[in-house]
Amino acid sequence: MQGDQAADAAGRTYPYFSEVLQQETGSGRFLTPYPVALEEVHKRSRDTGLRKRVEEYLGGDIPEYMRERPVLYLARHVATPNFETLRFLHLLEPLDLPIVLSQDTKDTFTSANMLKRFLGKLPVCTRVTQKAGVTHELYQHKTVIDFTKAQGKPFSEVETLWGEPLAQFHARLFTELSTVPPIITDDAEWIDRNSRGDLLAHYKRFLALFVAHGVLFEDYLVEDKEEEHFVREVLEPAFTFVEETFGVRPLITQLTPSSVESVKFWLSYPKDVLPLLKA
């Protein structure tokens, strides 16, 4: 996208990525630069001793899609083709590795969480302009669920205004908006078996999957107080535990570029989605 090139040419940094993560190089405490992560996962996946240690730690509970070869992995509450996901798919399409979009349909919907709210009220970016060095983004917001009915329910029980399961609706959008067919998997049962409800314990097991079985693509927006708490209290100790246990860092690489677009832009949808909405 143009934002990638503009940011790279100008050498800019933007405040929605933390100095902790050193977003411009991807070489911070938690992130591994994209090309290095790809090279490293191929090397580690051939290290049978390392893979065996991970599998023993997890009691053999490796997701089926990770058992034969490493994967390129993005986890969201519900898999959806917003701009960050579409860029992820486009970027990784030339690589000869499975692309996995994981979701957790047992997770609870709440409108207080921006990522979850945007699944029910889609921000559609209809125009992006620049004037005097300032980027302006124009959005239409399309509500597709009854927020009162959905509040507090697991995603598996949330339906659109026309009665379609919400996760099914978002999966259907991929067939219209993306030319890259990802593997969309519901990992709710794996999360149940691996310390659901104890976030730190869960993340120790979750990050172990990215020692030798895949590369996790993620952003941590730590200017947000809730996300900052997660980074300090969950990600950092879990990452350190995995690194000390296996002698290598979990492979996490930056999902979206440092660019002129806002966080909201990356979580929004192209205007091609408008004809697909019934509400």
| 91-150 tens-digit pLDDT | 899 998 999 999 999 999 999 999 999 999 999 999 888 887 788 899 999 999 999 999
Q: Does the pLDDT at position 20 exceed 70?
A: no
Q: Domain count of the chain?
A: 1
Residue 119 lies in a domain: no
Q: Which pLDDT score is estimated for 29? A: 79
Bridge partner list, 222: none
Alpha-carbon distance 120 to 130, whole Å? Answer: 29
Residue 157 lies in a domain: no
Q: Which pLDDT score is estimated for 279? A: 52
Q: Does the pLDDT at position 15 exceed 80?
A: no
Residue 143 lies in a domain: no
Residue 236 lies in a domain: yes
Q: Does the pLDDT at position 12 exceed 70?
A: no
Contacting residues for 222 by C-beta, under 8 A, at least 6 apart: 18, 20, 21, 228, 231
Residue-wise DSSP of 157-207: G-B-TTS-BHHHHHHHHHHHH-SS--EEEE-HHHHHHTTTT-HHHHHHHHH
Q: Does the pLDDT at position 9 exceed 70?
A: no
Residue 38 lies in a domain: yes
pLDDT band at residue 181 under the 50/70/90 scheme: confident
Look over the chain and give the mean of its residue pLDDT values, rounded to a whole number. Answer: 87
Q: What is the three-class DSSP state of 115?
A: helix
Residue 272 lies in a domain: no
Place of tokens 């379609």: 164
Residue 100 lies in a domain: yes
Rg (CA), the chain: 19
Residue 179 lies in a domain: yes
pLDDT in tens, 189-203: 999 999 999 999 999
pLDDT > 70 fraction of the chain, expressed in percent and rounded: 86
Mean pLDDT of 60-72: 97
Lowest mean pLDDT among 49-58, 178-187, 190-199: 178-187
Domain boundaries, position 208: 2-62+70-108+162-262
Query: Interhelix angle for 236-246 vs 199-208, to 10°?
Result: 40
